[in-house]
Amino acid sequence: MKRKLLLFNFLFAFLLITVSCNQQPEIDISKTVGMTEDYFRKLDEISTTAASYNKEQIKFRLMVGKHPSQKEATAMFNNILDNLEENSHTPEFWNYYNGYFEIKSYDKGVIYEATKIIGENLKVNPK
C-alpha cells in the first residue's frame, strides 16, 4: 500500500511539474500588436499599417509610398519582429507565434513578403 501511495505521489508531482513548465506565458496579444502598429504609424516612411492575429499567428502589413530595397525591407521586417517581442515583454515570443508580413505600395501592391515560422529564421521574398 505504501508503494502505491509513493508511486501515486511521484506521478502526481511529475505531472504537475511537466504541466507548469510547458505553459505558454500570458501575452496580451491585442495590446502587443496595437503598440507595434502605433510605433510604425509614427515613422515617416510608413503610410499606414494593418494587422490581424489569433492564438497561433500574426499577420502584419506596412503600406509605403517609396519602394524600399530588399535590404531596407529586411530591416523593416526585423524591426517588426523585435518590436512585437519587446512589446510583449516575452523574450521567447516567437516560440509561440508564426508571423506573416507584407510591405505593400499603393501603385504596385505587395512588393515584399516575409514569414517567421516557429523555430525558423525570418524569410524575405520580393514579389
d(CA 106, CA 9): 63
Contact 60, 36 (CB under 8 A): yes
pLDDT tens for each residue of 62-119: 999 999 999 999 999 999 999 999 999 999 999 999 999 999 999 999 999 999 999 9
pTM over 0.75: yes
Per-residue pLDDT band for 58 (boundaries 50, 70, 90) equals very high
Per-residue pLDDT band for 7 (boundaries 50, 70, 90) equals low
Strands 46-53 and 109-116: unpaired
Contact 70, 78 (CB under 8 A): no
Which residue type sits at 72?
Answer: E
Contact 85, 96 (CB under 8 A): no
pLDDT tens for each residue of 9-51: 666 566 556 555 555 567 889 999 999 999 999 999 999 999 9
Q: Tell me, what's the pLDDT at 71?
A: 96
Domains and CATH numbers, the chain: 29-126 (3.30.70)
Of 3 and 18, the one with more pLDDT: 3
β-pair partners for 49? 62
Cell numbers 509605403 correspond to: 64
d(CA 93, CA 29): 10
Which residue type sits at 120?
Answer: E
